[in-house]
A and B are shown apart, each in its own frame.
Chain A
Amino acid sequence: MQAFTQDLSGFGVDVSVTNPAGETRTMRGLTGDVSIEQVDMGTGQVFTMRRGYVSLSIEQFEGFGTPRATADGGTHPWTVSFPDSEGTQRTYSVLECRPDRALGLYTMTLEAFCGA
């Protein structure tokens, strides 16, 4: 799985990850930014939402910290940046991080982020 996510000749892309301390590291992983339809469980209505995600191997974070969501507004968030299909670089903050320690992956749900 790690080889699959880091294969630049396949689906892997270069992802720039910045931790709350402001340190930036370039990693390789799988990324996505797609609009999907979802059903609201409360009303049964279908709505469209845009979701972003990135999957990075845990080994690339050695000495860099563990990515996570930050609830405190006084703390800089974890951010990731990667290009879309047209090469436009987009920046996202981490909304949720789900580690898979069996596969050695962090899968993160992202939200759009506008820099300071």
Chain B
Amino acid sequence: MPIDSLIELPNRFVQVRDRIVEILALETQLQQARAIELDLDPKPYRLRVFAERSSPWGEWTSLDEIDDETDRAPIVNVAFQSSNPVEGSSSVVSRQTCEVTYRIECFGLGVSTGTATGRLHADEMAAAEAQRAASLVHSILMAGTYAYLGFPRGAGQIVGKRWVQSITQYEPRQDERQIFRIGGLSILLNVRLDETHPQVIGTVCEGVDVSLRRGETGEIYAEMSFGDSL
């Protein structure tokens, strides 16, 4: 028997990924606004957020150090990595509980810069920028207000749990001798969510009335009345 309803798209693992992107984009704006209110520099709170990009730092590779128009704020890329259904928590009919992993990569740009007494090294700067971005992402996603990533709780709950599983810094390529340096950290965010799929919608049956009676001998009598569907 084929599926008799239209499948809802996208699946929840995509919805959750989009929600993560929305949260990061929103909070970087709000954090900058709060910094301004407190007379602090908003730049450390600025992130550029992307989804499912393979090399969002690409514009940095053609950066013209003389032209200051290229945006040098750290780049964050949110990507779906894997989904593993948990058999023991799922229903074979209606619902699969999945452990979904999202890879959130944070990139920072470093350009060697002279100071009054020496210089700031490009590789150190790139690592510091990437680590600052990762710190922001970690704090935002593990904030109490986003325990369920902004999804409602109760009946029909989508997200059961979110957890930053690991934060790993990329090792620099040994043969890297670039004009600019790009530092990177990868945050793995694990989300437990429920995926639901099309169900069989049953047809309305005719009602059947059943009366049970115990006789004096203890025998059970059943009386039924029902219509003839034929």
Closest to A42 in B: B173
Q: Is the CB of A111 within 8 A of B112?
A: yes
Interface residues of A in 71-110 (CB under 8 A from B): 71-77, 88, 90, 92-93, 95-96, 109-110
CB of A114 within 8 A of CB of B65, answer: yes
Closest to A74 in B: B118
Question: With the chains together, A8 CA to B205 CA distance in Å?
Answer: 96
Q: Name the residue on A nearest B178 (C-beta).
A: A49
CB contact under 8 A between A49 and B113, given known A73-B120, A110-B179: no
CA of A115 to CA of B119, assembled, Å: 9
Residues A111 and B181 in contact in the complex (CB < 8 Å), given A48-B61, A73-B119: yes
- Is there a chain A Cβ closer than 8 Å to B117's Cβ? yes
Contact of B118 among A42, A52, A73, A115 (CB under 8 A): A73
* Residue in contact with A111 in the complex, picked from B61, B115, B116, B122, CB distance below 8 Å: B122
Taking a contact as CB atoms under 8 Å apart, the answer to whether B119 and A76 are in contact is yes
Complex Cα spacing A76 to B175, Å: 24
Q: List which B105-146 residues lie within 8 A (CB) of chain A.
A: 111-122, 124
Query: What are the residues of chain B within 8 A of A112 when measuring CB–CB?
Result: 63, 65, 111-112, 122, 179-180
A92 near B179 with CB under 8 A, answer yes
Contact with B along A61-77 (1 / 0, CB 8 A): 00000000011111111
Let me know if B176 is at the binding interface, CB within 8 A: yes
**Pick the contact of A114 from B61, B112, B176 — CB < 8 Å?**
B112
What 6 pairs across the A-B complex have the smallest Cβ distances? A116-B114, A112-B65, A74-B118, A109-B177, A50-B179, A114-B113
Chain B residues with CB under 8 Å of chain A are: 55, 58, 61-63, 65-66, 111-122, 124, 173, 175-181
